[in-house]
Amino acid sequence: MNYKGRSIFEYGDISTTSFHATKMLNTAEGGACFALDDELHEKLKRLRFFGFDDRKDVVDDGTNGKMTEVHAAIGIANLRYLPSALADRQEKYMLYKEILSQCPELKFQRINEACNYSYFPVIFPSEATLLSVEKKLNAEGIYPRRYFYPSVNTFTQILPYVEMPVSEDISKRILCLPLYYGLAKEDIERIANEVLSLFF
């Protein structure tokens, strides 16, 4: 994934990614951290391996955060399917957007050539509307996800609260519709039409 011509992993001191089963490239579970700074990179290596340094002396806080061989093998095997999975997601994403664009009240993510179509997020006019759509879909056995709710700045157990009105507003109104490899065209049409039925 790129932003302004650079990998998103090149921004900031440390970047992270998830390899959870819902991701485009997955290992069933797990993730990774990236640091361009050598000192931070070495600290991350110690943190993931019980705080051990290269000589196996405990020199830092640590945990068992190493990826298992099984998870690594799943990730390597999934690499071969990534190009076709990306193309499949794009096709399904575009079908959703084509159908749902009939409703001017719905807003969609602006995409560019670097988009990997991981999710199909829809921004609704209000949280009340979102909750109505979610309830209707759930009643039909369809389970959209609020992956971006609540806004991270509201996690006051971790950091002091900082007001972020745009993030807080959008997090309440954004819902991701089902999007995965085995999802049939007919199912996308049915899901999209269930959403539209609340507006027309």
Domain CATH number, residue 115: 3.90.1150.10
Q: Please provide the size of the chain in residues.
A: 200
* pLDDT value of residue 156: 93
- Taking only the tens place, the pLDDT of each residue in 160-178 is 999 999 999 999 999 999 9
* pLDDT value of residue 138: 98
Contact 200, 104 (CB under 8 A): no
Using the 3D structure, point to which of 39, 63, 79 is the last residue of a domain.
79
Q: Please tell me which residue, 2 or 6, carries the higher pLDDT value.
A: 6
User: Range of 7's domain?
Assistant: 2-79
Contact 142, 178 (CB under 8 A): yes
As for how many domains the chain has, the answer is 2
Q: What is the mean pLDDT of residues 57-83?
A: 93
| Residue 13 shares a structural domain with residue 26 | yes
Q: pTM of this prediction?
A: 0.86
- Taking only the tens place, the pLDDT of each residue in 130-164 is 999 999 999 999 999 999 999 999 999 988 999 99
| Residue 75 shares a structural domain with residue 89 | no
* pLDDT value of residue 53: 86
| Residue 65 shares a structural domain with residue 92 | no
**Other CB atoms closer than 10 Å to residue 62's CB: what's the count?**
16
- Taking only the tens place, the pLDDT of each residue in 37-51 is 999 999 999 999 998
CA–CA gap between residue 140 and residue 134 (Å, rounded): 10
| Residue 108 shares a structural domain with residue 134 | yes
Using the 3D structure, point to which of 32, 47, 79 is the last residue of a domain.
79
